Amino acid sequence: MIPLSWYLILAAALFCIGLYGVLGRRNAVAILMGIELMLNAVNINLVAFWRYLTPALIAGQAFAIIVFAVAASEAAVGLALIISIYRQRSTVIAEEIDLMKW
């Protein structure tokens, strides 16, 4: 069988790749893609812990569904924000969106 640690290492790798995407990319849409990768890594962890440690409780799956809902809302609002900013400032580069920079 597959040891639990394989899932955890894979989720850690996906999370760190997503972290690089959030911190290192200039395009705001690419940053959102990095956030999606990180949320997916968390979901893998939730479901793996549910399956290996507490299969009798359904908590892991229930909270994975909550994470799905959060990811959907975040993508909808984030992309609406990006389109709105693009309409007004003609840019989606995170460094150039400095409206609230003091």
Partner 1 sequence: MTLLQGVFVVTALAAVISAVMVVASPRLVHAALWLVVTLGAVAVLFILLDAGFLAMVQVVIYIGAIAILIIFTVMLTRRVMADSGPQANRAWWLAVFIGIVMFAALLALLAQMPTWWQATPPPLAASADFMIEDLGKSLVDLDRYVVPFEVASVLLLAALIGSIVLARPPAETTGKTGPE
What is the nearest approach in angstroms of partner 1 to the Cβ of residue 49?
Answer: 9
Interface residue with partner 1 among 90, 98, 99, 102 (CB under 8 A) is: 90
What is the nearest approach in angstroms of partner 1 to the Cβ of residue 64?
Answer: 6
SS3 93: strand
Q: What is the token pair recorded at 87?
A: 């309409």
Cβ(38)–Cβ(18) below 8 Å: yes
What whole-number distance in Å separates Cα of residue 16 and Cα of residue 43?
A: 14
What is the nearest approach in angstroms of partner 1 to the Cβ of residue 102?
Answer: 20
Report if residue 23 touches partner 1, rule: CB under 8 A. Answer: yes
